[in-house]
Amino acid sequence: MELTTIRELVDKYWNGETSLEEEAQLQRYFQEEEAPADLKKEAALFRYYQSNTRFRTLDERFDEQLTQRIEQKQAKQRWLAYQPLLRIAAAVVLVILAAVLFRTEWIGETNPVAAEDTYEDPRLAYEQTKEALLLVSSLMNEGTQHIQELETFSEAQETVKTQIP
């Protein structure tokens, strides 16, 4: 094949205008003949294509594997189509569960244990409550005294830090 024809085909190849037959001609030329210096890059490219054609062939199971993958994706898409319905069903189940758990408040029943009074004398109940609240108050005051001591210590520490260069 003439060198001018090869150069024209290479130009057409880079412009994306070659047919499959013309590309096959280029591959045969670069496999059989020594390329001129200005076409060394193209020769290397076409040799690379030729060496990798064996990896581009499809085996017998290709169609089967492709069909299997497509079916898997379609099955997944079918599942995703039900996703809004599943969300609604989950919300309904939660509402029903909440209704079952809190039905006593909705019906208006009272807890029989909470309805019983533990003290018959209101004054005695008041005194017991007052003692419990005083105990809690004294314990809280004791805790705040420790916090005040910590604040004093913290202030002293800050003073020392400012005085030390």
95-123 residue pLDDT tens: 988 888 877 665 655 555 555 667 788 88
Say how far apart CA 42 and CA 27 lie, in whole Å. Answer: 10
Q: Are residues 9 and 38 in the same domain?
A: yes
Residues 24 and 68 in one domain: no
The backbone torsions φ and ψ at residue 110, rounded to the nearest 5 degrees and listed phi first, read -110, 155
The C-alpha atoms of residue 1 and residue 33 are separated, in whole angstroms, by: 10
Q: Residue 111 domain-assigned?
A: no
First and final CA of the chain: distance in angstroms?
A: 91
Examine the domain organization and report whether 92 and 67 are in the same domain. yes
In a domain, 141, yes or no: no
Average pLDDT, stretch 88-93? 90
Q: Give pLDDT, residue 117.
A: 66
Q: Is the whole model's pTM more than 0.75, yes or no?
A: no
The Cα-based distances of 20 to 12, 16, 45, 46 in angstroms read: 12, 11, 16, 13
Residue range(s) defining the domain that contains residue 81: 62-101
Tell whether 47 and 68 lie within a shared domain. Answer: no
Residue 70 belongs to some domain of the structure? yes
Residue 164 falls inside a structural domain: no
Structure tokens that stand for 88 in this block: 């609604």
- Are 13 and 51 in a shared domain? yes
Give yes or no: residues 11 and 49 share one domain: yes
Q: What is the mean pLDDT of residues 125-154?
A: 83
Query: Is residue 74 a part of any domain in this protein?
Result: yes
Residue 70's identity, in one-letter code, is I
d(Cα 127, Cα 42) in Å, to the nearest integer? 103
Please tell me whether residues 95 and 51 are part of one structural domain: no
Identify whether residues 40 and 77 lie together within a single domain. Answer: no
Q: Are 29 and 1 in contact (CB under 8 A)?
A: yes
Over the stretch 1-60, which tens digit does the pLDDT of each residue have?
688 888 888 888 889 888 888 888 888 888 877 777 788 888 888 788 777 665 566 677
Do 67 and 30 have their domain in common? no
| Number of domain units in the chain | 2
Same domain, 50 and 79: no
My answer on whether 45 and 78 are in the same domain is no
* Contact predicate 41/48, CB 8 Å: no
Residue 7 belongs to a domain: yes
Indicate if 7 and 51 belong to the same structural domain: yes
Do 11 and 22 form a contact (C-beta atoms < 8 A)?
Answer: no
> Considering the domain boundaries, does residue 112 fall inside one?
no
Query: Could you tell me the two tokens for 120?
Result: 């018959």
Asked if the structure places residue 154 within a domain, the reply is: no
